């Protein structure tokens, strides 16, 4: 009975939409006759999946996501981990203030944050670009969309992941840290040799969620679309699905591309979880 409300909402908000998307991906709209009778759904089997995989724009979207992950995930993890370690150190002051200050960007809605960065990226109205130009620099952030998008997501998600790392650091037994101090370990050695190894499950969880979120990249590049010449309507797989559904009216192709994206996220989630579990089991064997 306690699980029933969750199961009901999960079914209505997750399982049913997934099932509908899978059903939709198996049909295509066909125009009958000369087009006077409108269109009707026709069973296409795996045809929409084949069309999605053969589309160069869709495949290039995955390459963009891979490049984004290679740049974004290491930077975000390092920044969030360093901030968490600084807040957890004995020398830190005003911990709650700085924790809140770093977390506040995550509380800003994504579309609002993207619009703010769009304002800061636009030459002629951005005070930051005007100041850099006054110093002799010629920045063009919209000419290089990938770093611009990474910067936007870093600003929004670093604080969120910092809170996860900080909570994991707070759960480390204090006697372990005191023993390290007694053995002569300094703050840097304690952080690298003791704290980070003990919060590896949190690192794995953040990595898993970040990979899944990266595959769903949509808001930031969509805001830049039309302004940055490098951001096309199929720049990411999510943008491809949006364009197929709401600009071309090809809902079968959009559903198929979304299902393929979900399968990619599931495979990556399994891989990250498997690798993390294998490393944890090896560490236990070595310890034993």
Query: What is the pLDDT at residue 143?
Result: 75
Token pair listed for 266? 């599931």
| Residue of higher predicted confidence among 182 and 288 | 182
For residue 37, pLDDT over 60 is answered with: no
C-beta separation of 265 from 247 below 8 A: no
Can you give the pLDDT at residue 94? Answer: 73
Question: According to the model, what pLDDT value does residue 286 have?
Answer: 54
Which letter does DSSP use for residue 137 in this model?
-
Q: What is the average pLDDT across 20-29?
A: 89
Q: What are 138-155's pLDDT values in tens digits? A: 777 777 888 889 988 998
pLDDT of residue 207: 86
Q: Is 94 helix (H, G, I), strand (E, B) or coil?
A: coil
Distance CA(265)–CA(157), nearest Å, equals 19
Q: How far is CA 241 from the centre of its chain?
A: 17
Exposed, middle or buried by CB within 10 Å (0-12, 13-18, 19+), for 131?
A: exposed
Mean pLDDT of the chain: 84
Domains of the chain: 42-283 (1.10.3720.10)
| Mean pLDDT, residues 215-238 | 87
In the chain, % of residues over pLDDT 70: 91
Nearest CA to 64 out of 120, 156, 148 is that of 148
Query: Which tops the pLDDT comparison, 269 or 25?
Result: 25
Distance separating alpha carbons of residues 103 and 162, to the nearest angstrom? 8
The whole-number pLDDT of residue 280 equals 63
According to DSSP, residue 141 is labeled: G
Instruction: Tell me the pLDDT tens digit for each residue of 62-78.
Output: 999 999 999 999 999 99
Q: Quick one: how far is CA 129 from the chain centroid?
A: 27
Kindly indicate the confidence band of residue 91, based on its pLDDT and cuts at 50, 70 and 90: low
Half-sphere exposure for 67 (CA within 13 Å, toward CB): 14
Instruction: Please report the pLDDT score of residue 181 as a whole number.
Output: 80
Q: How far is residue 68 from each of residues 83, 213, 270, measured CA to CA in Å?
A: 22, 11, 20
Q: CB of 141 within 8 A of CB of 57?
A: no
Quick check: 122 and 66 in contact, CB under 8 A?
no
The stretches of 89-186 forming alpha helices (DSSP H) are: 95-107, 110-121, 127-134, 145-170, 174-182
In angstroms, rounded to a whole number, what is the distance separating the alpha carbons of residues 143 and 69? 20
pLDDT digits (tens, 9 = 90+) for 116-140: 888 888 877 788 777 877 777 777 7
Residue 197 above 70 pLDDT? Answer: yes
């Amino acid at each position: 009975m306690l699980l029933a409300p969750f199961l009901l909402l999960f079914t209505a908000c997750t399982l049913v939409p997934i099932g509908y998307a899978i059903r939709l991906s198996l049909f295509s709209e066909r125009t009958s006759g000369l087009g006077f009778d409108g269109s009707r759904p026709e069973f296409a089997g795996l045809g929409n999946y084949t069309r999605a995989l053969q589309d160069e724009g869709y495949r290039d979207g995955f390459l963009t996501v891979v490049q984004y992950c290679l740049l974004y995930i290491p930077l975000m993890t390092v920044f969030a981990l360093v901030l968490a370690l600084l807040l957890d150190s004995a020398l830190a002051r005003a911990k709650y203030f700085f924790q809140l200050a770093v977390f506040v960007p995550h509380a800003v809605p994504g579309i609002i944050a993207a619009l703010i960065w769009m304002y800061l990226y636009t030459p002629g109205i951005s005070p930051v670009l005007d100041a850099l130009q006054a110093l002799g620099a010629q920045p063009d952030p919209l000419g290089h969309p990938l770093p611009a998008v990474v910067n936007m997501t870093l600003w929004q998600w670093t604080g969120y992941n910092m809170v996860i790392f900080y909570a994991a650091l707070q759960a480390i037994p204090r006697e372990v840290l005191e023993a390290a101090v007694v053995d002569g370990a300094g703050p840097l050695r304690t952080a690298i040799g003791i704290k980070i190894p003990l919060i590896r499950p949190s690192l794995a969880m953040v990595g898993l969620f970040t990979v899944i979120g990266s595959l769903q990249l949509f808001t930031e590049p969509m805001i830049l679309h039309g302004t940055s010449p490098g951001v096309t309507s199929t720049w990411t797989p999510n943008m491809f699905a949006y364009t197929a559904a709401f600009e071309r009216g090809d809902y079968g192709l959009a559903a198929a591309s979304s299902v393929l994206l979900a399968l990619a996220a599931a495979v990556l989630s399994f891989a990250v979880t498997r690798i993390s579990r294998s490393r944890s089991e090896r560490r236990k064997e070595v310890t034993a």
